[in-house]
Structure formats: structure tokens, C-alpha cells
Structure 1
């Protein structure tokens, strides 16, 4: 049992929690909590850390099955591992997922359904990114494309916000977003930019074909260069003095409108 916060493994986990660079170099991320850890495929779990208190629960037995590397730690040490205020006593180091643009853009081919992509430019709030993935899974999004300036998808705050969707949603970071948008156009995927200059309200457009929504930075929106590559600008009508929505909320409005249209088409 690990009983010291100066233990090398404790320091390693702390580095993975705090540093994106360490996560990239080690090709691992940290997932915490009973629900999240129970959804991770067992073959992707590198190490499972269990608190002394959690080890005595009935839930622990099921989670331990088929996991090769398990470390038991004191409750006090587990608090130092945890990135939450009320740790549940279960934490996993997980092998990262890697997808290509071809896999993300072509993910819909496996289901035979039209593509529904979210293209994110410099989304910096981890909570927003995680919520977009979670809502995206619920709306039937087939993949997420992000520029290099978007928050690290393996940030623990993102992981918590996804509620497991990060394990199932294909995603890719791209170095050159504009070249990527050109490639999506070549694939006949229509690009819609959420933009204040949109002539049509979002619910007047047709999203039943191959579709990608472009979502910009929380403070500044899409850059002019990226917005210019869209086939169509759409706006979300506002009442009162509100000019725009939070990036995750705007994304959800658009994604679920696409989902509604596709349900009605059946």
C-alpha cells in the first residue's frame, strides 16, 4: 500500500493531472470517479489507483477484474492524487486515444449516416470542450475537429465534463485548420459558421446532409479567415440584450437542431 505523498507514483500521477506535456509524453490521461472508471475499456487501463476505503466496497470488486496493474493507497494519499473536492477513491491512468482526420471525417461511413462534425477553433475553457463532446454524443455527432490552440482534451476538467463521451467520440487536432476545412469541403461536407452576421436563423437551414458546424473562441468567436471558409453563416436569434451564447450552449443548440431534422427525416 502506498502511504506517502512523496512516493514516485504519486508524483507521476500529479504530473499527469497538472501538465499537458507530461500527458503527451507518457501517452496517458487521468480519469477519476466510479462512473468514469467503470466505462473505460479494461484493456486501456494502464494502472488503477484505489483508496483503502473504496477497496472495501462492493463496487471495487467489479472494477478490479481484468485490470493488470492495481495500486492500493491510503485515504490521505488518495486525496493528494485527486483533482476533485470530494474524491470517490477510484482513479485510473488510461492510454490515450488517437484518430486521424480520415477516421474522424469518415466515421459516419460505419453507420451509413451523414457526417455531423464539430469544428472548434481555439476553444479554451475545459468545461466548454467537455460539454461539447458530451452533448455531441447525445446529438449524434460523428466526430470533433480541433485546431492546435484548443484546450487539451485530456485535461482532467475536460474528462470530467465529458462524462465518458471522450471514450467514444472520434476527435483529432490539426495543425492547419484552413487546409483541413478545404479537405472537408472536398469530401462534400457543408460548413456552417455560427456567426452574428448570419442572414438565416439556424433553424431555417438544412442539416440532413453531410454537415460541419464551425465554433469559435469563447471571447472572440471565429477568426475572419476561418469564418470566410464557411459555406453559410447561421445565427441564433436572441431576445433581450444578449448578443451571443456560451460556446458549449451555442454548439448544443446547433447539434440538437441537426439531430431533430434527422429524426424527422426517418
Structure 2
């Protein structure tokens, strides 16, 4: 049992929680919580850390079979609470191998339905978009390199497990990537103040991608200019714009609605 926060494994776990550099160097990220652990593909698990109290509960309910084919360590409750990124820890964390996807595969899908993010900074927004993307049948998410780190613990928690199933890729040059997407037949739509057509008046049944920009500033002019269509989400009152994740969800589900029938 690990009983000290000065243990090398615990120090590494803390670094992986806090530092993107450590995650990149080891090509892993950290998940926390029972649901997140139970949904992870077990071949992606590097190491599991479980609090002493939860371990004893699991032995009573499931026996050691709960940890079949994974390497794990039991951690003293006080140490686990110290390393946890949540206020009320569920008692289980794991180091997971990152999944890698190919841009060509994402762009060349026959029914490509993409969400393209430029400079999104809020972890909760990104996690919500990933989770909603899975629910709405999105086939891939493309992120500019300036977006918040997808492996940030807050993002991971917000995905509620969709991180394991939703293809995604960071790109160095978003403009170049969008030009490649257009060559692959992907029509690009941007929610924009200059939009004249309501979002639900367009046809999204062919290969398409929606562009979502920074929470405060929206899309950059350079990226917005690459859109094939500007669309608008009609609003009442004095509201000028919606939260990025909400706007993305509205557009994603309109595409889903059109493709269902």
C-alpha cells in the first residue's frame, strides 16, 4: 500500500494532473471516478490507483476480478485525497494511454460531420462539446493548437467518458487544415454575426463541418473567411451571442436531425 505523498508514483500522478508537459512527454493522461474507470478500454490502462476504503468495498462486492488484467496500487485514503483533483474523491484514478487519430481518416469519411474549434479556452466548454458531439453523431473534432489542453482533468471529467470514443486531433495550422477539408468535399459553416440565413435553413446532409470560435472573440477573420456559409442562431431579447458549447450543441443537433430522416 502507498502510504506517503512523497512516493515516486504519487509524485508522478500529481505532475500528470497539473502539467501538460508531463502528459505530453509520457503520452498519457489521468482519469478519475468510477464511471470513467469502468468505461475506459482496459488495453489503454497504464496503472490504476485506488483508495484503501474503496478497495475494501470492492473486495466485498466484486472480489479481485474487478481489476482483472490491469496493474493497480492501493493508496491510503489521506494520500488519495491529497492527490485527487476533486473536492469529494470517488476513490479511483488511472493513468491512460492517449489515443492518436489521423487527419486524413477524419477528413475522408464518407459522411463526415465535423466540429472545428478555434482557440477555445474553457475546459468545461471543451468537455461539454466532446460529450455532446458523441450524442449528436459527430464523426470527428478538429482543434487549433491554441485550444485548451484536451487532457486537462476538468476537460476529461466533463466528457463523461466520451473522450474514449470521440475521434479528435490538434492541428498546427488550422487554415491549412480547413483548405484540405474543403478539397475533401467538406462544406464549412460558421455561426457568424454576418449570417443572413438561420441555421436550420441550410442543408447539412452531405459532408460538413461547423466552425466554433473563442468564447470572447469568436472566430478570427482569417478562419471565418474560409467558411462556405455564414449562419445565425436567432435570439430574442438583447442577447447577442450564446455560450460556445451551447451554440455548438444547437448546430450539432440540427445536423443530427436532418440526417436522421
TM range (shorter): over 0.9
Per-residue CA distance 1:76-132 (angstroms, 9 max, x = gap): 1111121011111110000011112112223x44xxxx1100000000001100100
Per-residue CA distance 1:173-224 (angstroms, 9 max, x = gap): 0111010000000000000011111010100011111010000000000000
Unaligned runs of 5+ in 2: none
**Residues matched between the structures, number:** 258
Unaligned runs of 5+ in 1: none
Partner of 2:166: 169
Report the Cα distance in structure 2 between the residues aligned to 1:2 and 1:196, rounded to whole angstroms: 55
Instruction: Please tell me whether residue 150 in structure 1 is matched to residue 147 in structure 2.
Output: yes
Report the Cα distance in structure 2 between the residues aligned to 1:34 and 1:64, rounded to whole angstroms: 12
**Aligned residues of 2:189 and 2:210 also touching (Cα < 8 A):** yes
Per-residue CA distance 1:148-180 (angstroms, 9 max, x = gap): 000111111000000011101111101110100
Q: Which runs of at least 4 in structure 1 moved beyond 6 Å after TM superposition? A: none
Report the Cα distance in structure 2 between the residues aligned to 1:87 and 1:154, rounded to whole angstroms: 19
Instruction: Please tell me whether residue 49 in structure 1 is matched to residue 44 in structure 2.
Output: no
- 1:234 maps to which of 225, 231, 235: 231
The two structures have a TM-score, normalised by structure 1, of 0.95
**Aligned residues of 1:103 and 1:170 also touching (Cα < 8 A):** no
Partner of 1:214: 211
The two structures have a TM-score, normalised by structure 2, of 0.97
Report the Cα distance in structure 2 between the residues aligned to 1:217 and 1:252, rounded to whole angstroms: 15
**Aligned residues of 2:101 and 2:167 also touching (Cα < 8 A):** yes
SS at match of 1:141: coil
- 2:69 maps to which of 66, 89, 108: 66
Instruction: Please tell me whether residue 186 in structure 1 is matched to residue 189 in structure 2.
Output: no
RMSD: 1.0
**Aligned residues of 2:212 and 2:218 also touching (Cα < 8 A):** yes
